[in-house]
Amino acid sequence: MTNASGTVPAVLSDTAQMPLFWLYQKGALVGSGVNTSIGLFEANYNDTGTTANNDSFTGVTGNCNLLGARPSTGGVGLVAACVGVVGAARGFQSQGGALGFEQGELHAMNIVAGLSNIYATPSNYYDIIGAESNITGCTGCTMKIRIGFNSGDFGNGGSGDSEQGSLIDAAYAIFSVAGTRGWKYGIDFAGAPVYGGNALSPAGTVLGSTAATPTLAAQGIDLQNFTISGNAFRSTGFAVSGTGALTASLPTSAGGGGLAVCVDTAGAMYKKATCP
């Protein structure tokens, strides 16, 4: 550990006693009026290894373990909640913005994983993943809710509604900066050969809702801001093109003789060997 000035205490000055990582507090910067970027707490480690080892390095690790068994409460209330890492960013005063010229940003967490050619040009990496959430369990271990990523609207701290974003308001936003190629998939249900198992259970649903009561919404899936050169929707035997033309296969047993049912952009329906 270091003190607020960033100097290493004498007890850690001996390299034999120096831990692989150490956490240090830089101190607070209040009302300085200068352009400053400061990390109050940092954990840094630079690996310079050149040998073929199975090395794994972690910048910051937070562990929370529930080791003690608690008695049943009859289903009343939460007995224990364990959070490994917490990040919070809150705003308490305006930051000089105005309507149409908004200023001030709050990011509870900002995660970056990437390659850099500052020393050389790295190549043939297996994967680069910005954030990974893994859920583990065991045979016979039960739970009521299991979620990989959870994005909740807490409104006014859980005690009322709050305003929505005037430009973008979304549980998840996928973007690319100008000049980049963009993503091949917005959402990918990955399986073999990258990962061993199926992303979804054979009895699972690709996209749906588990709400106990009907959820109100103005639109289902809105792709009007896309220019789609292929199909806007495609499954086995059914497709809707980017311009709204519908194709549905009619099996022989349904009297279609193997023909396809086509619907043009004007809504006219006809049968043909293949739809345009």
Is it the case that residue 205 has pLDDT exceeding 70? yes
Whether this prediction's pTM lies above 0.85 is answered by no
Mean pLDDT over residues 83-99, rounded? 86
d(CA 26, CA 41): 7
Average pLDDT, integer, range 184-211:
88
Burial, 42: exposed, middle or buried (Cβ in 10 Å; 0-12, 13-18, 19+)?
A: middle
Mean pLDDT of the chain: 77
Contact (CB, 8 A) for 60 and 40 = no
Percent of the residues in the chain that have a pLDDT greater than 70, as a whole number: 67
Q: Give the pLDDT confidence score for residue 124 in this predicted structure.
A: 92
- For 188, list phi and psi in degrees, rounded to 5: -120, 120
Give pLDDT tens digits for 103-155: 888 888 888 889 999 888 999 988 899 988 899 999 999 988 999 999 888 88
Q: Report the pLDDT averaged over residues 217-233.
A: 92
Question: How confident is the model at residue 156, as a pLDDT?
Answer: 81
Q: Tell me, what's the pLDDT at 168?
A: 92
CA 127, CA 132: separation in Å to the nearest integer? 12
CA distances in angstroms from 85 to 88, 260, 271, listed in the order given = 10, 54, 59
Mean pLDDT for the stretch of residues 162-175: 91
Kindly report, residue by residue over 30-62, the tens digit of the pLDDT: 444 455 555 556 666 666 766 766 666 676 777
pLDDT at 73: 72
The answer for residues whose C-beta is within 8 angstroms of residue 26's C-beta and 6 or more apart is: 4, 6, 38, 39, 40, 41, 42
pLDDT beyond 60 at 253 = no
Contact in structure between 259 and 250 (CB atoms under 8 Å) = yes
Question: What pLDDT, on the 0 to 100 scale, is given for residue 11?
Answer: 38
pLDDT reported for residue 232: 92
Pairwise CA distance, residues 108 & 171, whole Å: 15
